[in-house]
Amino acid sequence: MISASINRDTVAGWDAADPLRPFREEFDLPDSVIYLDGNSLGARPKAALPRLLQILDEEWGRDLIAGWTRHDWTGMPERIGTRIAKLIGAGAGEVTVADSTSINLFKALCAARQLAAPRREILAVADDFPTNLHIAQGVARIFPDVRLRILGKAALPAALGPDTAAVMMTQANFRTGELHDMADITARVQRHGALMIWDLSHTAGVLPIALNGCHVDLAVGCGYKYLNGGPGAPAYLFVAERHQTAIDPPLSGWMGHAAPFDFDPVYKPAPGIRRHLAGTPAVLSLAALETGIAIAERADLVLVREKSRRMGELFVARMKPLLESGAFRPGSPAGADQRGSQICFLHADAARLMQRLAQDNVIGDFRPPDVMRFGFAPLYNRYVEVWDAVEMIRKMAG
């Protein structure tokens, strides 16, 4: 609980004592901007620029095709996958990095259909990120035996049954930030004999995740949010080791072949997680992502979570007069434990307000129809930024 009597100096004191403070120096962020949008696109690691220049100039420029072996470009999806695995409670060999989150979700859903056969029903929640629902709709179109049911979250437990093949959910809702209980939901789904697929896009890098601790089957996530991998960064796919050999990948490309450089016309899947690669790795994008991962893996995620919770509490405490007057309505769960690393407020004029905030260099997101969304990236955001952002909102509303 944050006391009503604090002032900006109190909050500046929190920044001075913040054990995560040095991480800000590792990002290129204009000082004039209050960037509360790391949940859409993370800030640029300073190391990304020299690393990309090095690849362009030396690895590609000088070594040309030899780069694939000399610099292990071919091994990047697995190498970076192993580094991401540590951030999400997975083991080495359970995560690969390629393609977009949408495409990895397609792979995960097809895998679940295969693993759970003859079960045929996929359950999804109605307020999930649209691409997740679109991809599931596509899977149901390709496989007419798949039945997709899109439900409100509250209807999910009763919908689980003997034909449920898989349930897919995003761990923190993209709009409201509502954090779902991974351990509890996974266990309930599996008690019904179904598989659980999580989208970690809004949680990886901002809170401790225990995929294997929760016995999760499959998971996907974005590289460009809290992992700071850059615009359109490659995404990742987790497949629990126990399932790997049973999956016949739907996108069976040569990079997932057991021996890609044998140029065998007949597809034979690689033994492990590599079978989920389809085409050539996006070396430049992977290299940028790796600079983001290299920062995240040095941070204590327990401290990151603590700071993110406190930032959310500070935001709410400062918004209190505006919420009490009815000028704004809360859009996120009330308790910090029930939220990911973002918060949203509802206002009929949200689009215009977010535009005005952006003109004053406070960057958040507008989500139709009336959502003002602010994300906290504890590795580079400061408590005073939260303070100043709400001051700006209060001024605008006054």
Of 113, 305, 373, 382, the active-site residue reads 373
Of 99, 199, 365, 388, the active-site residue reads 199
27 has catalytic annotation:
no
The 3 state secondary structure assigned to 227-286 is CCCCCCCCCEEEECHHHHHHCCCCCCCHHHECCHHHCCCCCCECCCHHHHCCCCCCHHHH
String of contacts with ligand PLP for each residue 47-86, x by CB under 6 A = ----------------------------------------
Q: Closest distance between ligand PLP and the C-beta of residue 96, in Å?
A: 15
String of contacts with ligand PLP for each residue 118-147, x by CB under 6 A = -----------x-xx---------------
264 has catalytic annotation:
no
Q: Which of 381, 386, 389 is nearest to 23 (CA)?
A: 381
Of 60-68, 107-115, 195-203, 287-295, which segment contacts ligand PLP by CB under 6 A?
195-203
Q: Is 174 in the site for ligand PLP (CB under 6 A)?
A: yes
Which position among 108, 110, 235, 372 is part of the footprint of ligand PLP (CB under 6 A)?
A: 235
In the range 325-354, which residues lie near ligand PLP by CB under 6 A? none
CB 372 within 8 A of CB 344: yes
Q: By C-beta, is 197 or 357 nearer to ligand PLP?
A: 197
Q: Is 100 in the site for ligand PLP (CB under 6 A)?
A: yes
Q: By C-beta, is 124 or 194 nearer to ligand PLP?
A: 124
Question: Which ranges constitute the DSSP H helices of the chain?
Answer: 8-17, 48-54, 67-70, 76-87, 101-115, 130-142, 156-159, 182-191, 283-296, 301-324, 350-359, 383-397
Q: Is 170 in the site for ligand PLP (CB under 6 A)?
A: yes
199 has catalytic annotation:
yes
128 has catalytic annotation:
no
User: DSSP 3-state assignment of 200?
Assistant: coil
Distance between CA atoms of 184 and 95, rounded to whole angstroms? 23
Q: By C-beta, is 177 or 249 nearer to ligand PLP?
A: 177
Of 87-95, 99-107, 183-191, 203-211, which segment contacts ligand PLP by CB under 6 A?
99-107
CB 109 within 8 A of CB 229: no
User: DSSP 3-state assignment of 204?
Assistant: coil
Of 23, 35, 224, 383, the active-site residue reads 224
Q: Is 222 in the site for ligand PLP (CB under 6 A)?
A: yes
46 has catalytic annotation:
no
Distance between CA atoms of 195 and 109, rounded to whole angstroms? 10
Q: Closest distance between ligand PLP and the C-beta of residue 132, in Å?
A: 6
Q: Is 201 in the site for ligand PLP (CB under 6 A)?
A: yes
Burial tier of 31 (Cβ tally within 10 Å: 0-12, 13-18, 19+): exposed
Distance between CA atoms of 180 and 87, rounded to whole angstroms? 18
Of 23, 35, 129, 383, the active-site residue reads 129
Of 44, 225, 274, 310, the active-site residue reads 225
Here the tokens at position 122 are 């996929």
Distance between CA atoms of 213 and 10, rounded to whole angstroms? 38
Q: Closest distance between ligand PLP and the C-beta of residue 181, in Å?
A: 17
Of 97-105, 144-152, 269-277, 382-390, which segment contacts ligand PLP by CB under 6 A?
97-105
Q: Closest distance between ligand PLP and the C-beta of residue 285, in Å?
A: 12
Distance between CA atoms of 42 and 362, rounded to whole angstroms? 15
199, containing H or E segment: strand 195-199
Here the tokens at position 270 are 């690689």
Binding region for ligand PLP (CB under 6 A): 100-102, 129, 131-132, 170, 174, 199, 201-202, 222, 235
Catalytic residue list: 129, 199, 224-225, 373
